[in-house]
Every structure is written in C-alpha cells, then in structure tokens.
A and B are shown apart, each in its own frame.
Chain A
Amino acid sequence: MSESHSADHAHHELGFLRKYIFSTDHKVIGVQYLITAMAMAVVGGVLSMLMRYQLAWPTDVSPLLAKVLPLSYNGGIMAPEFYISLVTMHGTLMVFFLFTAVLTGGFGNFLIPLQIGARDMAFPFLNALSYWIFLLSCIVIFAALFVTGGAPMGGWTAYAPLSALPGAAPGQGMGMTLWIIAIALFSASGLMGGLNYITTILTMRTRGLSMMRLPLTQWSLLITSILGLLAFPVLLGAGILLTFDRLGGTSFFVPAGIIMNQMPLEHSGGHPLLWQHLFWFFGHPEVYIVVLPAMGIASDILSTFCRKPIFSYRMMVYSMVAIAVLSFIVWGHHMFVSGMNPFLGSVFTLTTLLIAVPSAVKTFNWLGTVWGARIRFTSAGLFAIGFVSMFVSGGLSGIFLGTSAADIQLQDTYFVVAHFHLVMAIAPLFAAFGGLYFWFPKMFGRLMNETLGKVHFWLTFIGAYCVFFPMHIIGVGGQMRRLYDPTVYMFLQSQQPVNVFITISAFVLGAAQLIFLGNFFVSLFAGKKMTEKNPWHATTLEWTVPSPTGHGNFGEELPTVYRWPFDYSVPGEKEDFLLQTTPTTAPVTAKH
C-alpha cells in the first residue's frame, strides 16, 4: 500500500525501466493494457478485412495475397481452413484481448484510483502481475497463428467435440492447445485484476465518497469485476477439462461412438452440450463484462458533454446490478437449437426478455440526459452519443434472437453476427474511443487533435452502420455465419451484392481507424500541451490533479468529496460544473 506516499516525492529515483516498463503504478499499467490491446485490435482488424475480402469476392485470384501469405493463399485463393482460422482468431482477439482488456484492464486500471481518490490499487504488485500475465497470454495467442497446422478452427466459442479432437481439423492440434493456454492465462490475469478492482473500490474510496457518489464508470467497473470473478473460473475449469480430453484421453465433452474418417474413437461417456453450458455460463456474463464498463464510461462522458446531470443516477446503478444478476441466467439463449430440452428454451426466453428491461431503462435514461442538454460536440461527446445509437440498434435485434421461436431461423446466421457486433463490439468500441479522446490528456498531458477526432467519428459512425446493419438483412436471407463462400448456396446468391457493399464499407471503416491510430501516436509526442487541469470542465476527482500526475496521484493530502459527480448546470452557480471536491453546505447526492 502506498498510503504514506505523496505524489511528487515518492518515486523520483526510479529508472526508466521501473517507471515505464516494470511499474506498479496503476496509471502506467493502465496505459500498458491499452497499448497492448490496441496492438491486438490491429491484428484482429486486419484478419476481419481478409474475411470480408473473401466474402465479397470468394473466387477472386489475388496474386498479392499469394505472395504475402503463400501457405494460406495457394494460387491466390484463400484456403477454406484459413478462413475458419480467421473467424476463430478474429473473435478471440476482439472479445478477450481487445474489449475485455481495454475496458477493464485499460480504463479500469487507469481510472479506479484516480476517480475514487486513492493513491494506487489495493494490491499494486498483483496489478502489475496481472498485466504481465495478460501480455504472456497475448504472445501465446499470437503464436497460435504460426504453428504447424495453423491457427485454431473452433470459433471463439470452441465447441466440443470440434475443439476436443485434434484430428477434427488442421488447426485443432497445436493451434487449439495454444488457444486454451492463452485463454487460461487470460482468465488468471483477469481474476487478479478483478480482485484488485473490487477491493480497491470497496475499501479505498476517499473521505466523503459514498457509494452513491461514485461516477457510473466506477460502478460499472465494480460490477464488471464481480461478474468476471464469478464467470472466468468457469471458463478456466472448462478449459482444463477440455485439455484433459485432448491430451489425457478423458471424455468430458466427447461421447461414445464418434467415427472420424470412418474409424471409431476410444472416447466414451462425455457430452458435447456440457461444454456449451459451461462456455455460455461464462460467455453471457462475458458479454456484459464488455458492455457494462462501456455503459459506465459512455454515461459519464455523455453527461459531461451534455452539461447536464445523468438522468436517474439511481436507476442507472440499479439497472446495472439487475443486468449483472440476470446475466447469469440467460446463457441458454445461445442454445435454443442445440438439442437442449425445449422446455429450457422457454425458460431462457423469459429470462432473456427480462434482461431487456434494465437495458431499456438505461436507454431511456440516456435519452433523458440528452433532452434539454447543451451539447458540446467534442470527439469524446460524439462517440458517447454514437454509443447510445449503436447500443439501441444492436439491443433491439436481440429481442428477435431472444424469442426462441424466431431464433430457430436466425440462429447461426448473419442476423446474430449483426446483433452482437453492434451491441458488444461497436457500441463498446464507441465508448472506448470516447474514453480515449476524453482521458488522453489525463494520461499523457497532451490533447489529441479534435478535427481528426471528428473525422474519425463521422467515418466510424457511417462505416459501422454500413457494415453491420445490412448483416441483419442477409441474416434474414439465411446466410450462415463462419461460411467461407456464401455463393456456393443458390439461395444466397441473390444477396451477394449486399456482401460486396458490406466489404467495401468495412474497408472504409478499417481505413478510418488508421486516422485514429495516427492521431493517437502523433499526439503522444506532438499533441497540444494541456494548459489546464480540467480541459473538459468535468467534475470527477481525476481532473483535480495535474496531467500526468506522479505515482501516488494526489498531493500531500487525499481529496475530500462533497457531492455526486453530476453537478452540471446547477442553477445559481457561477460555473456550469462543480467538482466533486467543491464544498457545499447542503451535500448533494443522488437522493433528492
């Protein structure tokens, strides 16, 4: 614990390595997570571009790709197994190594002590360890791309027995083994982080910062960490059982009587659906592990740039708690046509539509926040508004899929791909971009270029809709996901122009992200220097200290909090915002 340290005196003597590489400062660890996750996102993004190219022009011969990737593009045409590897790796990289890592690892680490008025995390060493194990897991998953047989081919969901039988596909040997190791390491790293976040938020809040005065970002990180703590061990356990099946000859997920290449296998007694139950018992909370922090971050940024208190803070908190609890009893909606007892399908339909209620509450509250606002259209603000739009679009298509009867036709089609990309990839991406533009000056003491930020927003907003909205349409048309070549099916041929449109849009969307990357890295060194502590006129504690601030965050004395974080446009006040540290005679909290 670093309670006795003060910001400016404590760690002067640290060398470059201790300060920026093997640091236990939560801010450095946060930035490490962020940059690592961005690197993984670039890889995941490039893979998706290859997938889109294939889907639009499956029979095109590409001499360029034949030269760059001769093994995967023999004769200039993508190998079918390479496509399945792309699907698997893209999903894995984005779900785990980008979104989970960037939102909780990146923003969580950076923001928790700063926003709750603490000098560091409760367990700084564990925190650093969590990052290094995460980095190790990144290296392992990256290595899976280059091993014999190629990358894993089980999809990010790794359904058994495809994942359990090394002979089931080329990448299911070494590639799949590395996948399991990487996910196990990732889970371990996430657990260390989660324990740390929960302890820190619960025990290290500064004077006056009651739970109901926490920024929504902090609430979301707390709830997400609890979800992670309950969900990741299940994945870890399932992964261990899967490894036993693969390497130890056990049969947890493999039933008797499997015939592969017309030869019977030795397994007996396992059940493939057990894997699905375990995976989705983790997998659905995982969706909210990504979405909840995005909601928290977007809420706080939205309020800041609307210059208006978040609408119904208490309901925002309660709905997040409700979503978290319900997220553990909806997993079966991924399995309506899996062979699971149809009575369970009825139950999961009910719980699934139940979870839509708190999500709707949040949407109403965001609208209530924008209503009567005085919006400042900064890059961060625009991305927060974009988050709401994307979340609504993606959320509504969830109602179709949650309705088991409609899901019969839609399951495993592009309708599902459209839904989950909008709601748990694009919406969180918007929140993350908003967060980056917003906290970049806090992290690095410089501002990102606003003009480029806005160009990035407009292209990303248009691009994301042009890519993912039409996927609903081809999903209704029946196009299956994880499909190497849609044109082999007659019933899909008429909608091939839509695939071409999506691919062109995806290239534009991808190119737009280069603007962001350029802006980010150039601004690190050449961005406009911050002249004030609080460039956005926000209210939370991180804006009361210099940027960047040293190890220990706050000066000699920790701040005292007098009010909730949403005092924007308070009538009668001189400024249109009041820092949480602004004393007040009548304390303002959410309870009015």
Chain B
Amino acid sequence: MADGSGPGRITASGVALAVLIVILIIVSLYFFIAQPYWFPSLASEHGRQIDSIFMAVLIVSGIAFVLVQGALGYFVARYGENGSERAAYWHDNPKAEALLLLGTAVILTVLVFMGQRVWAAVYFSDRPADATIVQVTGEQFQWAFHYPGQDGEFGRTDTKLITNTNTIGLDREDPVAKDDVVTTNVMHVPLGKAVRVRLRSKDVIHSFFLPNFRVKQDAVPGMGIEVWFNPTAAGTYEIACAELCGLGHYRMKGSITVDASQDAFNKWLEENK
C-alpha cells in the first residue's frame, strides 16, 4: 500500500507513549473529579460563583483535554512506520478546519460571557450600603486592620505620626479616632453582613488574599482600592500575601474570624479598643 490506506503498524514506542497519555488522562480525571486536594473550604457568596465558573471551564477544557490527548495517543499507537508503506498524502481540509475554528470560537465566546457575569457580580454591582468597613494596610511584612468603631467614622491618619507602635499613623487626638480599633494581622467581621475592605500599602505591592473567601486584590502603594465580599460561614480562616513583597513575604500572614453575630463582633471590637 503506498497511499496511506494500509494498516500502519502498532509499535512498542507508539503504544508506550499512548499508555502514558492514557495514564495522564486517568490520573488527571481522578484528581479533578474525586478532588482529594481541592479549593480551601468556601466561606463567601462570590466564592460560590467563582468556583462555579471554574467548574464550567474545567468541564469544557477537561473534555478538550481528554479528546485531544486521547486522539494524539491513539494516532501515535496506531500509525507507526510499517516497512515501505506510505503515509496518507493529504494536507488540508478547509471545511473541517473552518468547522473546528468556528466551534472553538463559539465555545470560548460562551465562556467569556459566563465569566463576565461573575466578574460583573464581583466588580460592577453596587456595593452594599450596610456593610462592615475595614481599612486594611499592607506593609513589609504585616497587615494592619483599622475599624471606625461605634461612630462609623475613621479617625484622621497622618504619615508623620507613624511609629513602630502606631503603624498607620492614627491621630489619637482626633475625637473621631477615640473609638477606632487598630489591630495587626487579626481581622474580625460579623456574619450576615457584607464586608468592604479598603486596601492600601505603605511600601511595596502586597496582595490581600483570603483563600476561603475567593478574594484576592493587590494592595498598591499610592492607590486606594476597595473590594467587598459576603461571608457565609462563621469561623477563623487565614489571610495570605499573594504578591512577592520581599524576604518576609512568606510570613506576611494574618487571620480573619467571621463572628457568628454582630454582638460577638462588637464585643471583640470593645476588647481591642
């Protein structure tokens, strides 16, 4: 056979490569379906949407992964060199190509729109009016949390007042600042109420990462950036820095506690005044 219609030969190398590809497919399906390791437990409303868009992309790309790697494995196993037998001599198929191109474009467009709905929910929806507002300041290598206290107003801060103990430079002379609460690396929020985080950095770029809440936002010096989220499960979780910020980057770590009630939260504020 000289025109590619021959059987080809199933070669040891081809089969070995195909077997490895099949193992790759099975193992990755196991890890993504059985999920022995997976996202940190979920504790926010936006997080549910973010996880679901991840799952949508996972399904689409998972199918593509299995089909493409599977086809590659099959062809490699099936079409080994066979004596003087010739390969097929064809080198395009405009119809099939156009179909695949359009198909890919359509699927990706759908994913774009699905993703943008979640993106819009996170960034373009109105901030809830009734929210716990916290000013978060990153610096090498700690997080400062500034709460306005009962009066709901933040006290004045001034960089001239910054010291080792007053890292955000809060003006304690300001009457509004009297009931302000400032903590280091420890954040509390009440359950059942949105949280608005006003993020700043004093020195280099940090990234405020709440793995369980699916919140990640860079803290950029010179910028004030606000993010918000709705906690849905009481408990204590970790806060990480996700942007390289220097030698202590790995230990720029805090904790966030979602208090089960507003009272519990108020009590914590009181204790930390």
Contact = CB atoms under 8 A, between A and B. Distances in A.
Interface string A123-164: 000000000000000000000000000000111000101100
Contacts, number: 337
B88 interface: yes
B108 A399 contact: yes
B222 A256 contact: yes
Interface string A382-399: 100100110011001101
A403 B81 contact: no
A382 B12 CA distance: 13
Interface string B217-250: 1101111010000000000011011111111111
Nearest to A567: B89
A469 B3 CA distance: 39
A406 B57 contact: yes
Nearest to B206: A162
Interface in A430-483: 454, 458, 461-462, 465, 469-470, 473-474, 476-478, 480, 482-483
Contacts of B112: 349-350, 353, 403
A337 B247 contact: no
B150 interface: no
A469 B69 CA distance: 14
Contact of B97 (A315, A454, A469): A315
A350 B114 CA distance: 12
A65 interface: no
A364 B100 contact: yes
Q: How large is the interface on B (under 10, 10 to 19, 20 to 34, 35 or more residues)?
A: 35 or more
Contacts of A307: 81, 86-87
Interface stretch (B17-25, B126-134, B176-184, B186-194): B17-25
Contacts of A311: 91-93
A356 B104 contact: yes
A356 B91 contact: no
Contacts of A473: 31, 37
Contact of A361 (B11, B97, B246, B251): B97
Contacts of A161: 203-205, 221
A314 B92 contact: yes
A256 B201 CA distance: 12
A377 B13 contact: yes
A396 B65 contact: yes
Contact of B250 (A397, A410, A413, A483): A483
Given A159-B244, A350-B112, A337 B212 contact: no
A520 B215 CA distance: 49
B104 A458 contact: no
Given A374-B8, A397-B61, A312 B93 contact: yes
B115 A406 contact: yes
Nearest to B68: A392
Contact of B204 (A165, A382, A469): A165
A477 B111 contact: no
A492 B13 CA distance: 39
B139 interface: yes
Contacts of A260: 140, 202-203
Interface residues of A, number: 118
A312 to B, nearest CB: 4
A507 interface: no
A382 B220 contact: no
A285 interface: no
B172 interface: no
Contacts of B164: 262
A313 B90 CA distance: 11
B37 A477 contact: yes
Contacts of B2: 571-572
A403 B100 contact: no
Contact of B91 (A80, A309, A357, A490): A309
A323 to B, nearest CB: 14
B152 interface: no
A338 B201 CA distance: 13
A39 interface: no
A328 interface: no
Contacts of A43: none
A345 B39 contact: no
Given A370-B75, A375-B76, A364 B97 contact: yes
Contacts of A254: 221
A130 B30 CA distance: 49
Given A308-B89, A389-B72, A477-B38, A162 B245 contact: yes
B26 interface: no
Given A165-B204, A569-B4, A342 B119 contact: yes
A469 B203 contact: no
Contacts of B251: 80, 488
Contacts of A498: 37
A248 interface: no
A405 B113 CA distance: 11
A372 B68 contact: no
3 residue pairs, one from A and one from B, having the closest CB atoms: A255-B222, A372-B88, A405-B118
Interface of A: 79-81, 84, 87, 153-155, 159, 161-162, 165, 168-170, 254-260, 262, 264, 270-273, 306-315, 337-339, 342, 345-346, 349-350, 353-354, 356-357, 360-361, 363-365, 367-368, 370-377, 382, 385, 388-389, 392-393, 396-397, 399-400, 403-406, 408-413, 454, 458, 461-462, 465, 469-470, 473-474, 476-478, 480, 482-485, 488-491, 494-495, 498, 566, 568-572, 576, 590, 592
Given A405-B49, A592-B91, 17 more contacts: A87-B244, A161-B221, A259-B139, A312-B91, A337-B216, A372-B87, A373-B75, A389-B72, A393-B24, A399-B111, A400-B58, A406-B115, A411-B207, A480-B240, A482-B249, A495-B37, A590-B91
15 contacts: A161-B204, A260-B202, A262-B163, A272-B220, A311-B93, A312-B93, A342-B123, A364-B100, A371-B88, A382-B17, A389-B24, A392-B69, A405-B119, A483-B250, A491-B238
